[in-house]
Structure 1
Amino acid sequence: MPRMGRIVLPNYPHHVVQRGHNRQVVFAAPEDFQRYLDDLRELKEVFAVKVYAYCLMTNHVHLLLAPDDSAAGLGQLMKALAARATRYRNRLKGRSGTLWESRYKSSIVQTDAYLLACARYIELNPVRARMVAEPADYLWSSYRDRMCGKGDRFI
C-alpha cells in the first residue's frame, strides 16, 4: 500500500523533525553541526524556504520552515539536506547506508500563537535534554540569533 502524501501548504510554517536512524548520532563534532547549518543556509535560498527557527541535537533536528508559493520547496529542501548530511557522514565514517530514520515528520503551524510556541519548544530542546542550563548557551539553535543578535544570522 502506498504511503499517504504529506500535506504542505505554501506560505505556512511547518514544524519539521528528522531523526537519526535507530537514534544514532548524526552530529558528533562542531564541524558536523556547522556543515548542516551551512547547507541549510544555502538550500533555503535555492528552494525559496524561510527558516523561522532550528535546533540541531546530536541525533535529530527540529526545523520551523515555510515554503514560498511552491509547496514543493519544503520537500526538495529536506531531501537535499538529508542527502548532503548522509553523504558527508558516510564519507567521514567510511560507511554506507542511511543516516536518517524514515521520512521527516512535519506538521503545519496555522496560528501566530502556535508559531511562537513552536519556536519556543524547538529552542528549549537542549534545556529540556539537560545539555545546557540556558538556551543561549547552546550554539546549535536559532535562539542566540533571534534573542541575542548572535549566531548565524540567517533566520
Structure 2
Amino acid sequence: MPRIARIKDPETIHHVMCRSISELTLFKNYKDKVKYLELLALYCEKFQCSILSYCLMDTHVHIQLDPRGSDMSKFMHGVNLCYAQYYNKKYRRHGHV
C-alpha cells in the first residue's frame, strides 16, 4: 500500500524525523553533530528554508522545518546524503546510514 502523499503547503511548518538504520549510532561524538548542523545550515541557505528547532539524538534527528515554499524532500535528501558520505568515509564503512 502506498504512503499518503506529503502536503506541500508553503505556509506549513513540518516536523521531520530521520533515523539511522537498525542499531547504528548516527552521532558517535560531538564532531558528528557539528557536521550535521553545518550541513543543515548549508542546505538552509541553498534552499532558503528555516529551522525553527532541532534535537540531535544518538540514533535519530528531530527538526521543525519551515520550507518557505522550497522542496523539503530535496532539502532533506541533500543533508542526509552528504552526512552519509561523511559518516561512511570517517568510519570506513559503506552503505546506508
Give yes or no for TM over 0.5: yes
CA RMSD of aligned residues (A): 1.4
Moved more, 26-35 or 7-16: 7-16
CA distance in 2, matches of 1:24, 1:59: 7
1:78 aligns with 2:85: no
Q: CA deviation at 1:68?
A: 1.1
Name which of 93, 113, 118 aligns with 2:91: 93
Post-superposition CA distance 1:10-55 (Å, at most 9, x none): 1321001011111410000111000000111111011111110001
Structure 1's unaligned 5+ residue stretches are: 100-155
Using the aligned pairs only, state the percent identity. Answer: 33
**More RCO (CA 8 Å, sep 6+):** 2
- Cα deviation for residue 95 of structure 1 reads 1.1
Q: Which structure would you say has the larger Rg? A: 1
Instruction: Give the equivalent residue in structure 1 for 2:25.
Output: 25
The 1-side partners of 2:11 and 2:39 are apart by 21
Compared with structure 1, are the counterparts of its residues 10 and 21 closer, same or farther at alpha carbon in structure 2 (3 Å cutoff)? same
Match of 1:137 in 2: none
Structure 2 unmatched ranges of 5 or more: none
TM-score by length of 2: 0.91
* Equivalent residues, number: 97
CA offset at residue 94 of structure 1? 1.2
Could you tell me how far 1:6 is from its partner in structure 2?
2.0
